[in-house]
Chains A and B, each alone.
Chain A
């Protein structure tokens, strides 16, 4: 398949051209999804803020010994969102916290989708007893309450970011696995797969060259959607006190607020900003995910 003929554009160049065209087509269609654009804008803003947080606020913002204010000050000109229990600037903390929340959300989603894709593709491809076993395992994870499982995992492992990523990643993959398996089954019935097999294509070749590219759009959409739930899950775990207490994250801020008694004291500025930040980012990812999904999934496209 990779033997290059001497004639005009090489297959490699052709493939590149085709990809460029499809990206352009994708973008054109995506642009027509207004909600998706809003989501993308919000996301880009958040990503920029997180990336340039060291410039805006600096890591000093999370220092307790050099906290600039008094504990639990309400919003003022100096501290637009007030201060936390150590007298740290909450605006700075919310911006700084976005780094961890986004990072953990992305990593956990990637891990979850990677596991899901691996199991989905292999189960769809190999069928037989292997598929049965894998799908039963998937079913088992599917019926287990995700949060409870994640809490159990986070409890037994030491408290760190890796733990949180793993706890979320290994508990949220079953839906992806199911979706990918269904798509794999559909792709494998196509005639060109049969042709490839007749020409001597092995399992690895079929899975990596023919099945994977075809399930990729689905995986992409699924990743975007899972990120939002991963961010929520990260915030939940941190809120429940299962995160690393020394790292500033949105969920961790909520947990700090709760422990400091901000809920019953009515110190809303400690609670509302991280909460809204979580909601906005999760919403933005969902909007993007839906938009990508409707662009890539032909069936959704027709119905609209």
Chain B
């Protein structure tokens, strides 16, 4: 059945209210089960042997002694895995388990399953690997230089004409934009050109990757796993291991944070392979060190930004050359950065070129609005320099050039109704903008863009005989979506919120749902929930019509009950959902609603952030004094959790801007693979984070919903960069703006 997904501006009774989440008690009592919290009788413990080298040939790999150790039940190397040499899954598999070469520090080379951790540890020590070290490169700019060590010999640059004949670390070049930038720069009164760098960061979810895998010789398997997308994990694991998808039941545990890092498989296919070989359940849990080294952080970047403007603030041209490293496997992160770089603005002449570059670092995965924060750092920092050069207030400059409905986006298409203008106006009028600053303090602001996605979604509603309702969802709840979906379901059915119980189904209980990524959960599952509820309502109207013995056309659904329309039906008292549910057995059996949809039309999202910092000129240390997030949510279903997304994204951005970075030694090894040396913000680092939710309805969703999860991490690097630059009196161009970098910048400016 197709449904109209247009925005209808309906008046809500429940949607928009602050309700407690249905999984709250489980989570405050320790009862909620996460990836590492499940066990099975007879389970084995899996451990991984990982490369100590950044780049090396595996000359010899001998597992025979480990296999003979008492208590070891299975050992896996690439030789035990299907050969996907020609297949689309090769990169995924090779990242899970190295073949003839290791491509980064931490790359897995073997795995064991043993009766306990002690035995598994002993077994790892018995595996003999002989490496032939190869030259490595970990810096994105160095990897692009002629003569740089080649990470892969089979990668030829895509997106250039003619096709190259020599392999390269540049796997892709992508150009976006329109107009004539040279003519645009010729029109400019001022042109600012600046180069920027950002360092690699990790999503930093507190729960390491963990799973419990169980596969029998009959080909039936189960996987309990912390993931943002259990259907995607099923698809990938089944393809990698040659299993039947229907026979692999994947259950998503409660997930202890993902932010993009749990959209890819890492240890899971290997845990399944170990279980299949041992014919016993296998539990695999990454250590924090492994999470940093061998899951998927985001890119480090380097970029050149050029913006030209007239004295009245009109931007005449913008160009960006941005270089993103994808780790040791081909990615599209530079391309994505190029698409987002100038997306906030209405530009006649714009060009952004993205380079995707291989280095000897872990395979890059998505991190919350992937690629957008770094490009925004470059562009939004340059925007402040333009404002300074033409002596215009930075917010006014942005408002003057903001994209609006009908603007051709820098990445191509024409925008519908969007919220960049309103978030900027709200920033300009916010009391934060007029607050007094003290000595050594500075204020900065920046705006940001993210696409948001929809995608495949499948949802069930089942009405119990007592009138309570099971809402069965397939999009993993990463931060409170069961509450929002229950609100939507209750709103549609016209029943109280606590009459709905939402559950996340395993892969055998519901059709495919795309991964919870791209801020798609509330948009997509919200849409499917609305349509499933409406289907259940149609069924309940049928049941009421039967009960009354009148045509269904004479039944309407209002406020949770069926009412008979027309004078001749005046004597019929309404039938509530509970009444109809109680009689279901006698009127045709169970009552359900179902919807499957490809939810396209996710509205793009914009945010503007304001930040005050204090920089200590003696130490270079920065404190966040005040922080305000203003973002368009389309429609906030449960405002508490929308605010939570705004605050969480800002906090991650603050960590990225000031502290967090992967530090590689000359040996190509990661030097800070732990939370002590990779320091994410703690409670005492931050102030309260103010939020303002704007609601500019998405025309392609019945409730006007846009995604809200990701955009909040886009502006912070630039907002803080501008604030620190204003406080310290020197332009910061390298993230993170750690104390040594700030001191160095101050010293260089003074010299």
A and B together in one complex: no
